[in-house]
Amino acid sequence: MIQNKLALLAIPLLPLLGAVLAGFFGRALGRTFAHSVTILGVTGAFTLSCFVFQDVQAGQAFNGAVYTWLVTDGIPLQVGFLIDSLTVTMMLVVTFVSLMVHIYTIGYMAEDEGYTRFFAYISLFTFSMLMLVMSNNFLQLFFGWEAVGLVSYLLIGFWYKRPTAIYANLKAFLVNRVGDFGFLLGIGLIFAYFGTLDYGTVFSQAAKFKDTLIEVVPGWHWALLTAICICLFIGAMGKSAQFPLHVWLPDSMEGPTPISALIHAATMVTAGIFMVARMSPLFEMSQTALAFVLAIGSITAFFMALIAIVQYDIKRVVAYSTLSQLGYMTMALGAGAYQAGIFHLMTHAFFKAVLFLGAGSVIIAMHHEQDMRKMGGLRKYLPITYFTVLIGALANAGFPPFAGFFSKDSIIEAIHMSQTPGHIIAYYAALAGVFVGGLYSFRLVFFAFHGKERFHDDAYGHAHDHAHDKHDAHDKHDDHADHEHHGLAPGEKPHETPWVVTLPLILLAIPSVLIGWMAIEPMLYGNYFIDSIVPTDTMAMMKKEFHGAWAMVTHGLMTPPFWLALGGAATAWYCYILKPELPAKIRAAFAAPVKLLEEKYYFDRFNDWFFAAGARNLGRGLWKFGDVTIIDGIMVNGTAKLIGWFSGVARKVQTGYLYTYAFTMIIGVFGFLTIVYFKLR
Amino acid sequence: MQSSSITLSLTIWVPILAGVLTLFLNSERQKDSARWVALIGSILGLAVAIPLWTGFDNASSAMQFVERTSWVSRFNINYALGVDGISMLFVLLNSFTTILVVIAAWEVIQDKVSQYLAAFLIMSGLINGVFAATDAILFYLFFEAMLIPMFLIIGVWGGPRRVYAAVKFFLYTLLGSLLMLAALIYLYNVTNGSFDISDYHRVPLGMTAQTLLFFAFFASFSVKVPMWPVHTWLPDAHVEAPTGGSVILAAITLKIGAYGFLRFNLPIAPDASHALAGFMITLSLIAVVYIGFVALAQTDMKKLVAYSSISHMGFVTLGFFIFNAQGMEGGLVQMVSHGFISAAMFLCIGVLYDRVHSREISAYGGVVNTMPKFAFFAVLFGMANSGLPATSGFVGEFMVILGAMKVNFWFAFAAAITLILGAAYTLWMVKRVVFGDIANDDVRALKDLNGREMLFLSILAIAVLVMGIWPQPFTDVMHSSVDALLKHVATGKLN
């Protein structure tokens, strides 16, 4: 199987075929055709991935080119696959979550006129993501990297009539481009020094460049590998929404919920994590780069979690939770525990997909109402959704024995044991984040599913609109006009969503419970990743402390993370069940810090003012002053005027009157003769 | 492939003859005949150029398909033609683009149809002559002659400020052309009476002579590219030109400037080129970054794409003057790719202009609601213009950035800013024009693409994707000639 190049090629190409068919013929051949053909494609990709997984388990691997993209200077740049344990893990996660989301979409998008287009997009995304993870070289990695960005752009702006959606997708694309800018420079550095873009060659030669210094700024020497790793990581910061390039992810919630689950939680945003793990042979050679990674991860994990506490939009709570969890994964990478990062990536993919799809289920049941202040007591009406979201929240908060516990606890342990500079501070940030994680996860559960029913409570505006007003200064369109009326009709009660929605929830909830338990030993402490991730001291030390998954659970009950998470959950219970009037009082008492969180630390405002408006004004200035005034005004038109003036003078001489010419001639002859006379004398 | 070949002559004279024929079909009821003759002529023009591709020897860096006939024997001027890996693709690109221009004009141009089409066909032949000429005077002749149809196209079928645009262009071009002629005459003397360009490549020259020659050619070609700061004629010319004029201007004539650098500056003055590389790279990077910002501020779609062209051409000149294979081949790839993408962008703008008669971004909004097919192409080409991988726009930029990194981190850094800026100005325009709710009644009344428009946009879309997914056939053609040129430049002429 794994040695069959054609079969490997089929894995990404089947979803692509589905996308093309649904995209070009979906309108003509109908909805059933569109979702059948795409689901068939993704099912095929998933099935084939399972077979490949078996082969990888049996110790096989594949690394080879598919075709040569181009040759430059004798160096071939190829499109090719590297299939090992890391790749196949990603392939399984991507195809499985994608399949679930495809099924879910049948229910979620049932009333949308862009139904077939949506299926084409998510299948195209699956193709792009598979190309990204299956790559064996930096060129194709960048291909996939940008291609998933493109699909993300298309999907965030899926409802293209909404000003907020097309604002968010442009923002997402551009912020990602900032990351890609760094990423491309990193690739450029690799090409310049290694003379190849092939992973295998680069990794095997990395040791040779361990002590190479480059002088980027005169007099300031950098280790080459540090520069490369930091450049690459800037790419990861864009894609995986790490501080300060995190700003696009919350806004990406403008897209339909299924893609928030698939792209902006489970798969695409983890591409950066995957990439760094893939590059572990490079990152392991630069303590500086690792420290940078760890610092960025800590900031993201802690500060983004805080914002989740003040959000009312159910999707945005989950979005900020995603940011925070991505921060944890990044911290794991910075601590040298790549396996733990990938492990968390996997568990997170399942439980965050549950949370998002669960939130989506609530949103359908509430007729596109996203404000939690208008929910409450939903568990009665949406039992399956409630139950699965509860599992998701427990996993997200890291309660044993749910999947998130194993991965998050491993990360915290890894940070504790790592030797990366700054790991002590990171450790406390991670611990604090656990408390906040418990708080926001259960705030969501209690706020939306417990307590008083507030469906027909008109005390609050629509969170949906409210959230947009702030950042949309230059889109002066009427926001409300585009939205179909949302919320329940008076007296109407929500009811459970159809099976196409709940089935994926259940199928994703199962691994959210079990996968941590099952996978921790082989993935972290076994030989599963032996062929793809370099062994590190951190992992070796952790292995000494590990005595099986069950022991970890029992031990986990006595460690700070568990009590912190419990504390967070208890706080949420106290504030939203026991004393529901308390949050408002807290808000009033701590107006300034709450405002800071509501404004997301003013990043959006700063970016809009400094980068967006700044760039436009700079452009206008350069244009009006540089091009119009200096070049055109002075140089071009000035030349023209000068010539015009000169010819004006010259023209005056040519009057057309014979006597003027005769007179000039006489004067001329006289002058000439005078000169000749004096010369000759 | 020896002197018996007439392929290149055919690529020059078939379109010109077709153009002349079209010119005779100038009465009102012959409009359709004129269109068909022009279409068949342009397709024939591409057909006769196909052997250049199929019969091309990738392993050779020498001129191929050479033709040589004495023309003015008193001055040793020859009708000498030939193409190498540097010029061959542009003959094809030009012949290809001419077909699109003819199709694009089909129903749109109703006034003086035969003259319009004839101008394009004749220009197409002349431009092929520019790329194929290996005799300096023949080159100069084609180089100047091709301006005439372009002036006419802007001047007759252009917008309200066409005279200003034409005069501006003229002012820019005049000085450069004269200096180039002077340089050619100087070289004629140095080589004891030869106008063969390859003789100029070989003749030893001192540093002063090289520097002066470099600037003489620079004056001519930098305007054509156009490089900062002699670029301001381009936005005006584009704005005033009819769609077809813009397409040819962006897709082909800009390439002639860049081609001139490779054919004249680098090989004739290699040491001066090296000495002035910093100067050229600086100008190129200013074009990339400064113009990128300027593009962001544009409110007129054509101006925006015109500035985007300048910025993209900055990559080309940057690639040429970093003197490595990635840079030079990247620059050439970028030239071809930009030919496709800029043509597509201008055709897209033309599609909208034909319907609404405005180029202002603010006159649109929510076009996707009424023109979904158009929106598909607009987003595709917008992405290609932003350099998205798997489109041709990525290939050249990627290679030039790789090449620049080999030379200096900061060159690559500045060039890579286009990743952000290019996406910003292009996609912001796409957002404001294509996305959103229907902005006004003009947009509400829009009809989606017709079959003819689907045809030319599809052809370009395929070209953009094929070149992005598999650029190897394009680069394989270049290797030998680029390697030979780089070796020649590295050796220099001083010893």
pLDDT in tens, B135-177: 999 999 999 888 888 888 888 888 888 888 877 777 777 777 8
Contact present, B1 and B62 (Cβ < 8 Å): no
Burial of A31 (0-12, 13-18, 19+ CB in 10 A): middle
Residues 6+ apart with CB under 8 A from A354: A388, A389, A391, A392, A395, A505, A508, A509, A512
Cα separation, A54 vs A94, in Å, equals: 17
How many separate helices (H) and strands (E) can be counted in chain A? 30, 4
Cα separation, A345 vs A93, in Å, equals: 9
SS3 A609: helix
| pLDDT at B392 exceeding the cut of 80 | yes
Q: Which residues of chain A have pLDDT under 70?
A: 1, 457-486, 681
pLDDT of residue A127: 94
User: Partners of A198 in the beta sheet?
Assistant: A137
Contact present, B121 and B18 (Cβ < 8 Å): yes
Q: Which of residues 444-463 of A touch B (CB under 8 A)?
A: none
Residues 6+ apart with CB under 8 A from B176: B219, B220, B221, B222, B223, B224
φ and ψ of A222, to 5 deg: -120, 145
Q: Tokens 């501070």 — which residue? A: A425
Give me the torsion for CA of A126, A129, A133, A134, rounded to 10°: 50
Contact present, A259 and A148 (Cβ < 8 Å): no
The Cα-based distances of B456 to A268, B122, B348 in angstroms read 35, 21, 10
Q: What ranges in A311-337 are assigned the alpha helix state H?
A: 314-334
Rounded (5°) CA angle A69-A75-A77: 25
Contact present, B403 and B325 (Cβ < 8 Å): yes
Token pair in block for residue A552 = 């970890």
Overall size of chain A counted in residues:
681
Chain B residues with beta carbon closer than 8 angstroms to that of A117 = none
φ and ψ of A77, to 5 deg: -105, 120
Please write the tens of the pLDDT for every residue from B263-289. Answer: 999 999 999 999 999 999 999 999 999
Residue A524 CA, chain-centre distance (Å), reads: 25
DSSP string, B359-392: -BGGG---HHHH-HHHHHHHHHHHHHHTT-TTSH
Cα separation, A352 vs B265, in Å, equals: 60
Rounded to the nearest angstrom, the minimum Cα separation between B124 and chain A is 29
| pLDDT at B179 exceeding the cut of 70 | yes
Q: Tokens 């292009």 — which residue? A: B426
Chain B residues with beta carbon closer than 8 angstroms to that of A178 = 420
The Cα-based distances of B335 to B291, B312, B433, B467, B488 in angstroms read 18, 9, 27, 12, 22
In this complex, which of B389, B399, B413 lies closest to A147 when CB atoms are compared?
A: B389
Q: Which of residues 345-374 of B touch A (CB under 8 A)?
A: 366, 368-369
Radius of gyration of chain A (CA): 31
Strand boundaries in A363-487, DSSP class E: none
Nearest by Cα to A148 from B387, B389, B395, B398? B389
Residue B138 CA, chain-centre distance (Å), reads: 20
Nearest chain B residue (CA) to A478: B437
Task: Report the DSSP pairing between strands A220-223 and A213-217.
Answer: antiparallel
Residue type, A653: V
Q: Which of residues 177-236 of B touch A (CB under 8 A)?
A: 229, 232-233
Residues 6+ apart with CB under 8 A from A652: none
Q: Which residue has the higher pLDDT, B381 or A498?
A: B381
Cα separation, A484 vs A159, in Å, equals: 12
Chain B residues with beta carbon closer than 8 angstroms to that of A161 = 366, 369, 436-437
- Region class of B421: left (phi > 0), else alpha (psi between -120 and 50), else beta: alpha
Cα separation, A206 vs A284, in Å, equals: 10
In this complex, which of B229, B294, B416 lies closest to A623 when CB atoms are compared?
A: B294
Mutate to test the interface with A, among B401, B402, B470 (most CBs of A within 10 A): B402
Nearest chain B residue (CA) to A77: B472
Mutate to test the interface with A, among B420, B462, B478 (most CBs of A within 10 A): B420
Residue type, A299: I
Q: Which of residues 364-423 of B touch A (CB under 8 A)?
A: 366, 368-369, 379, 383, 388-390, 394-395, 398-399, 401-402, 404-406, 409-410, 412-413, 416-417, 419-421, 423
Q: Which of residues 425-444 of B touch A (CB under 8 A)?
A: 427-428, 431, 434-437
| pLDDT at B12 exceeding the cut of 90 | yes
**Cβ-based neighbour number of residue A402 at 10 Å:** 25
Cβ–Cβ below 8 Å for A185 and B395: no
Cβ–Cβ below 8 Å for B369 and A620: no
Nearest chain B residue (CA) to A640: B171
Nearest by Cα to A335 from A203, A204, A398, A425? A425
Rounded to the nearest angstrom, the minimum Cα separation between B164 and chain A is 10
Q: Which of residues 496-555 of A touch B (CB under 8 A)?
A: none
Cβ–Cβ below 8 Å for B436 and A157: no
Contact present, A402 and A395 (Cβ < 8 Å): yes
In this complex, which of A70, A73, A616 lies closest to B472 when CB atoms are compared?
A: A70
Token pair in block for residue B453 = 């428009």
Residue type, B60: S
Radius of gyration of chain B (CA): 22
* Rounded mean pLDDT, B25-34: 85
Chain A residues with beta carbon closer than 8 angstroms to that of B472 = 68-71
ipTM over 0.85: yes
How many separate helices (H) and strands (E) can be counted in chain B? 25, 2
Mutate to test the interface with A, among B173, B472, B487 (most CBs of A within 10 A): B472
Q: Specify the pTM.
A: 0.90
pLDDT above 70 coverage of chain B, percent: 99
Cβ–Cβ below 8 Å for A173 and B409: no
Q: Which of residues 140-179 of B touch A (CB under 8 A)?
A: 167-168, 171-172
SS3 B299: coil
SS3 A72: strand
User: Partners of B79 in the beta sheet?
Assistant: B69
